[in-house]
Copies of this chain bind each other. A is one copy, B any other.
């Protein structure tokens, strides 16, 4: 920490809905980790709401609620705007920046319409304006494009940035549903709102496309520059026809360099498109988001994850809060925390995982019972057993998958199995991960 670093930064949250509540929860319950990551204490000084009388999640401290959003926004070091909509969010953000606060926002509508004036206001005030959560929720594509690729040249961005439409198209593809049924199902599961227009007509994706294009191409792209086509006219026949040639249909937000009348230009658009099944974007399932970036030197990169949800979005917001705090405290450098709450290494034998064992065994009655008894004796439980591939003249092969067991229990099991007469050979032991 620098010598002049503040011991405390005052943090204000504007809006206490789905995302705001989760941000408040993490600010309060993870205070000590946040201190370690930033080198300073983050003090939540107020939560701006329309009415302090509205019932809130118990994690929200009543005494911090205030209806004076402007007073709050102009008296904090870090202001987190989670109200949504254009006004009063725009005025509050501008006021906060002018008052010298770093601002974090998840407000795609505001940025897609008034981004350039806000970025300039932040420049003029020499403070940060961060908005990771505005593009693809928890997916860290904003930081990836702005920082990781800052020494490269991006040539194209293809994004699945709306989880509602991706869920609907995915259900139409894998479940054979038509658009109306898939939409109804998305609404039931909470993936689509009662009024799904902004999602299914592509407007939400268009706002994100404008933000991504501005960022990736250092341009001033606004929502009005983005031609949009939604997914309401996609039919089961379109999906089936795409499948016949090895494609799936995805709603894509696209920004790419091109030439027009010999002059370089930027094309930004949102529309459903056929994507080859072997393309990494094709395997983005359900409500997930992913952004595929093509750059001159890096080649192709993809960022994948949860595009929405209070908790996931709060994760992105907090990442921005930590970055802004680090900038205010020590010029962006993360404090050392190798000494802080470091987890001790676990001995290898303590690792728990699922195992697949393949055994060559004698083809005699009772072999399975004998093996199962040995496995059970070590407290390992069997999930499945199936016949493996082996020439029948030579005996049988078994493939056993265990439930999660410790490495040491497995090692003991294997040692015992190896002594059994009925076990000719243990042909392989592999772990099963990713479940």
Residue ranges of A at the interface with B (Cβ–Cβ < 8 Å): 2, 22, 26, 30, 33-34, 36-37, 116, 119-120, 123, 126-128, 132, 138-140, 143-144, 146-153, 158, 214, 217-221, 225, 227, 233, 235, 237-238, 240-242, 244-245, 247, 249, 252, 254, 257-258, 260-261, 263-269, 271-276, 278-283, 285, 292, 295-306, 309, 311-312, 314-323, 326-327, 330-338, 340-348, 350-352, 356, 358, 384, 386, 388-389, 399, 401, 427-428, 430-435
Q: A209 → chain B, closest Cβ, in Å?
A: 12
- Which of A126, A263, A358, A433 has the largest count of B CB atoms less than 10 A from its CB? A433
Q: Is the CB of A315 within 8 A of B258?
A: no
Using CB atoms, name the residue of chain B closest to A323.
B147
Taking A150-B37, A321-B151, A347-B260 as contacts, is the C-beta distance between A433 and B274 under 8 angstroms? yes
- Which of A30, A276, A332, A358 has the largest count of B CB atoms less than 10 A from its CB? A332
Q: A210 → chain B, closest Cβ, in Å?
A: 10
8 closest A-B pairs by beta carbon, nearest first, are: A151-B318, A332-B332, A265-B346, A140-B148, A298-B315, A301-B305, A297-B315, A260-B350
Q: Is the CB of B303 within 8 A of A342?
A: no
Give the interface SS of chain A, mostly helix, strand, loop or mixed. Answer: mixed
Please give 14 more A-B residue pairs, beta carbons under 8 A apart, in addition to A144-B144, A149-B319, A273-B432: A26-B151, A143-B144, A147-B319, A219-B345, A220-B342, A233-B428, A238-B428, A258-B351, A268-B345, A274-B432, A274-B433, A278-B285, A299-B306, A302-B302
Q: A427 → chain B, closest Cβ, in Å?
A: 7
Copies of this protein in the assembly total 2
Q: Is the CB of A218 within 8 A of B26?
A: no
* A304 cross-chain contacts in B, Cβ below 8 A: 280, 301-304
* A306 cross-chain contacts in B, Cβ below 8 A: 298-301
* A292 cross-chain contacts in B, Cβ below 8 A: 434
A386 to B247 alpha-carbon distance, docked (Å)? 15
A197 to B193 alpha-carbon distance, docked (Å)? 54
Q: A263 → chain B, closest Cβ, in Å?
A: 7
Q: Is the CB of A264 within 8 A of B343?
A: yes
Q: Is the CB of A144 within 8 A of B140?
A: yes
Using CB atoms, name the residue of chain B closest to A148.
B140
Q: Is the CB of A247 within 8 A of B144?
A: no
Using CB atoms, name the residue of chain B closest to A221.
B345
* A301 cross-chain contacts in B, Cβ below 8 A: 138-140, 303-306
Q: Is the CB of B227 within 8 A of A348?
A: yes
Q: Is the CB of B430 within 8 A of A158?
A: no
A262 to B392 alpha-carbon distance, docked (Å)? 47
Please, could you name 11 A-B residue pairs with CB atoms under 8 Å apart, sorted by A? A143-B147, A219-B345, A221-B345, A242-B356, A249-B430, A258-B351, A274-B431, A298-B316, A302-B304, A326-B332, A327-B333
Q: A276 → chain B, closest Cβ, in Å?
A: 6
